[in-house]
Amino acid sequence: MERIPFGVSRLDAMIGGGAPAGSVVLLAGESGAGAREFCYTSAAMNALATADSATFDLYYGDLEGSASPPADAHYVTFTDESAAVVDEMRFALADDLVDAAAPELTIADFSQEYFQLSPVPTEWYSDRTPDIRALGESTDRRDVLAAVSEYLTANAPGNLVVIDSVTDLIAASTDRFDPADLTFLLKGLARATYRWGGLVLLLVNVEPLDTRTLGRLKEAADGTLLFEWETGGSERARTLVVEEFRGVLSRLEDENIVRFETEIGDTGFDVSNVRKIR
């Protein structure tokens, strides 16, 4: 089975090279538990594989035999500027890694569509002079979903797309579009991604979600990576659990792997230890 690397070398090695091509993966995490750093690492490493093979070999190492990086890596954001995303990456990855990867990483900023019908002043998120007539004529309350759908249709086939974040879309859904529209979009995305053969990562913060909403998101995805804080004694540790993931979970079950201990270093998100059933 063809696989696309997540960009976390130790994890990829244990699951056969990465995620099966054609997968939509939900990255569901508690605040600060590593889900966002996982997104940065995946986007940067896959871009780096194209941008600078020598630096990629230094930080990632050899790819598994069945794995190959995507042709292009895309990072979709609804609230941050492109430059801010790159700056945030520097907190999680070494500067030279980010510098080498950035030219091959496409960052799509949908803040214009996301904020345009909100109370946020236009000058806070747009460099363009607002057109009063255009604002008055803008009545489509699904602009952001339509814009993202069009972007995915044009750029997701065969590529990596990181969406940061589904939490932002859920926050906007209560007054700008029907929450059911988002669920339908994600289910349709899973169907399309299977045909496209790429990899789509959906970041979501679990803390503001109820159990029902999180369950719907998990159902719409092909697999879920759950990022949690675990407390033992006086220390807290970041951990990762793989849930309901076709072509991945079975490999971990064969090895009796139940949980990964994780850390953030120069290579970004990384696996530091493996918990097995004893």
pLDDT of residue 177: 73
Length of the chain: 278
Mean pLDDT across the stretch 28-42? 96
Residue 74 falls within a domain, yes or no?
yes
Three-point CA angle 234, 235, 238, nearest 5°:
155
Residue 125 falls within a domain, yes or no?
yes
Residue 255 falls within a domain, yes or no?
yes
Query: Alpha carbon 270 to chain centroid distance?
Result: 15
Residue 235 falls within a domain, yes or no?
no
d(CA 151, CA 175): 23
Residue 85 falls within a domain, yes or no?
yes
d(CA 37, CA 266): 11
76: nearest Cα among 209, 201, 259: 201
- How many separate domains does the chain show? 1
CATH number of the domain at 40, please. Answer: 3.40.50.300
| pTM summary value | 0.92
- In DSSP notation, 88-136 reads HHHHHB-HHHHHHHGGGEEEEE-HHHHHTTSSS-HHHH-SSPP-HHHHH
The 10s digit of each residue's pLDDT in 204-223 is: 999 999 999 999 999 999 99
Residue 90 falls within a domain, yes or no?
yes
pLDDT at 128 over 70: no
- Cβ atoms of 100 and 52 closer than 8 Å: yes
- Can you give the residue range of the structural domain that contains 272? 3-229+244-276
Residue 142 falls within a domain, yes or no?
yes
Q: How confident is the model at residue 124 (pLDDT cuts 50, 70, 90)?
A: confident
The 10s digit of each residue's pLDDT in 195-204 is: 999 999 999 9
7: nearest Cα among 38, 50, 52, 51: 38
pLDDT of residue 139: 42
Least confident of 165-179, 213-227, 247-261: 165-179
d(CA 262, CA 274): 9
> Count of alpha carbons within 13 Å of 38, Cβ hemisphere only?
33
